[in-house]
A and B are shown apart, each in its own frame.
Chain A
């Protein structure tokens, strides 16, 4: 009798252990950590660059030192996403104050966007926008620094360019702080801009 009871208890123990093991192993994977980039990732975004401004002169990133800025990569022929992103930044800067941050627009389509094109395009928004272009080598380098992707779509003269949709926010020291994605709400975007506008 006693033996039987022991055996039964042993069985109960086994089943319990099995269940525990099952629960532990079948636990869903932990959710991925949200948006705040890891420090090592953050520190790899940005860095010194030299491009060409709308006057056709070399433009060194040191010119941006001491000013927070929002930098966006696109192309002047872009009909929807680029003007939408720039108009949004313009609107948010109106809210935060004209001196709150600079807006920098870098062309990923230097074949069509020369200094003149980038200059005229920037003026369209009736508020200062620092439009930059450069040689393909210069553009490729800065794209790499910011982890920006772009790719020509179509071969016709009126080709389109797929490109990274996010805006990068840099603080007064030129350090990367956050990105703004197009799908983020205005409130979220403003909160992030306030972090650099200081």
Chain B
């Protein structure tokens, strides 16, 4: 059946589209990162983990997609879990969604930034830059504080 649109319908549709296009953009996702830290390592230790908390203060969903740092040969989003009494660790494929208002913790024994191929040890008291990448928000570079391995 062919349905011909009346002029009135076309106008209504047109103005609706126009309104949608001109409407102020929804506030973007707004990542806020706090308390970035890592444990010190010894010479020869090639892997370490970095932790932080991440809050989405925006009004749309935020997606953490990746991480980078020049302090390690590779950095990736990782998750530790205990499966049947066995500690395992796997990449966080596909990133991580943070709802508006939600805070997620990258913390020991859970989600962490996996630092691999460390060229030199992480020394207590020093810091290093690390960049978090998001799907629809500007990347954030933060300073990761290195604390004594037994401290927290």
Contact = CB atoms under 8 A, between A and B. Distances in A.
A84 B112 CA distance: 12
Interface stretch (A3-11, A27-35, A42-50, A161-169): A161-169
B121 to A, nearest CB: 9
Contacts of A182: 82, 87, 109
Contacts of A163: 86-87
A17 interface: no
B39 interface: yes
A127 B41 CA distance: 15
Contacts, number: 92
B45 interface: yes
Contact of B45 (A80, A87, A121): A121
A127 B150 CA distance: 8
Interface residues of A, number: 32
B152 to A, nearest CB: 6
Contacts of B141: none
A162 B43 CA distance: 23
Nearest to A82: B87
A183 interface: yes
A158 interface: yes
Interface stretch (B15-23, B25-33, B46-54, B94-102): B46-54
Interface stretch (A57-65, A71-79, A137-145, A186-194): A71-79
Contacts of A90: 150
A162 B47 contact: no
A164 B85 contact: yes
Contact of B87 (A76, A91, A121, A164): A164
A181 B82 contact: yes
A165 B41 contact: no
A117 B47 CA distance: 14
A12 B99 CA distance: 60
A113 to B, nearest CB: 10
A24 interface: no
Contacts of B85: 149, 164-166, 181
22 contacts: A76-B42, A77-B46, A79-B49, A79-B112, A79-B114, A79-B115, A80-B108, A81-B87, A87-B149, A87-B150, A87-B151, A90-B150, A125-B149, A126-B149, A153-B89, A158-B116, A160-B89, A162-B86, A164-B87, A165-B82, A165-B86, A182-B82
Interface of A: 76-81, 83-84, 86-87, 90-91, 117, 120-121, 123-127, 149, 153, 158, 160, 162-166, 181-183
